[in-house]
Structure 1
Amino acid sequence: MAEYFKTFLKTANHLLKIESDEYAIKAISFVKELEEPSDIQPEILLKAQKELQKYFDGDLKEFSLKLEPEGTDFQKKVWALLYKIPFGKTWTYAEMANKLGDPKVIRAAASANGKNPVAIVIPCHRVIGTNGSLTGYAGGLENKRYLLDLENRVANGVMELF
């Protein structure tokens, strides 16, 4: 098994744990406590820190990170589809299932969405309930709301400080 490395990004409102092997990002997650980062920091971890900081600053809409999340083939198919949701836009779970080619996979797609190990970069936060409600987010609904609000402000050119 490949060795994994970790680092953290602390913003004004969030603490993110970023994990990788030597070449690709494996996971990004919201955490409550800072841990000891890895002694070795591969370039991909440093790049992820920089890109995520730019995202939170409102200066980045598209990530250029190599991703290799671990999951089933179906999960990876869902995550690849999530990656295509445009910045500042949202899809419903029903739209996601339809884009997968089968409206009946809505629950399986929602489950795969919830197991996305690469928060923010694979934008599972951009999937909302059919009625427009903010439903389920592994990083917490307050973080989902924050990310959607941030993207909406950036997409509309309104980056007030708060």
Structure 2
Amino acid sequence: MEAIFYTYYNSPVGWLKLTSTPDSLWSVSFEEIQGENSSEIPQFLKESVQQLDEYFKGTRKEFKLKLAPEGTDFQQKIWKLVENVNYGQTASYLDISIQSGSEKNTRAVGLANGKNPIPIIIPCHRIIGSNGKLTGYAGGLERKRWLLLHEQQHSAYSDLLF
């Protein structure tokens, strides 16, 4: 079995726990308090924290990390489509559903988006309702709003719909 490492990062949206192998990110979770870091932190995990720090400073628009989220084939497909939504932009659940091959899949897209184990880096916060309203976010709507406004402030795009 491959070694698993974790570290905590105090972000503007609260504590984040990052879990990885020596060379790929498994998860980012929102935490209420800081826990204990692994006794050893591999360089890859340090780089993941560095890239998150740059994102929150507004200097990183795209993450360059090897990701290894666990999920069904359908979830993996949806997460790949969500990764294609550019920094500072949004897409609707319907947009992603159509891209996945069926506009009738909006509920399934929402469920898959909600199971995203690597929020922020796989930018599920950029997925909004067809009417432009913020809906559902595992980290809470206030975090979703904060992340979208943060990206809008640091982006050439200023037409976010929420």
Instruction: Tell me which interval the TM-score lies in, with the shorter structure as reference length.
Output: over 0.9
CA distance in 2, matches of 1:139, 1:9: 15
Amino acid at match of 2:37: P
Match of 2:55 in 1: 55
- Aligned residue pairs total 158
Query: CA RMSD, aligned part only?
Result: 1.4
Write the distance in 2 (CA, Å) between the matches of 1:78 and 1:11: 26
Structure 1 residue matching 2:29: 3-state secondary structure: strand
Where does residue 25 of structure 1 map in the other structure?
25
Partner residue, 2:85: 85
Counterpart code for 1:128:
I
Q: Any idea what the Cα deviations from partners look like across 1:27-57, whole Å, max 9, x if unmatched? A: 0111111100001111111001000000000
Structure-2 change in CA distance of 1:23 and 1:157 (3 Å): same
Please give the secondary structure, in 2, of the residue aligned with 1:34.
Answer: coil
Equivalent residue number for residue 114 of structure 1: 114
CA distance in 2, matches of 1:123, 1:134: 14
Aligned AA for 2:45? L
CA contact 2:85–2:123 (8 Å) conserved in 1:
yes
Structure 1 distance, partners of 2:31, 2:11, is 12
- The 3 A distance-change label for structure 1 pair 38 and 145 is same
Paired position in structure 1 for 2:95 = 95
Residue 156 of structure 1 and its aligned partner are, at CA, apart by 3.8
* Corresponding letter in the other structure for 1:118: I
Gaps of 5+ in 2: none
Structure-1-length-normalised TM-score = 0.94
Deviation digits for residues 40-81 of structure 1 (CA, Å, limit 9, x no counterpart): 111111001000000000010000010000011110010011
In structure 2, relative to structure 1, the CA distance for the partners of 1:16 and 1:104 (3 Å cut) is: same
Shift of 1:145: 0.3
Which residue of the partner structure matches residue 36 of structure 2? 36
Contact 2:128 2:135 in 1 (8 A): yes
Structure 1: gaps (5+ residues): none
* Partner Cα separation in structure 1 for residue 146 and residue 44 of structure 2: 26
Structure 2 counterpart of 1:130: 130
Q: Give the structure-2-normalised TM-score.
A: 0.94
Give the 4+ runs in structure 1 shifted more than 4 A.
none
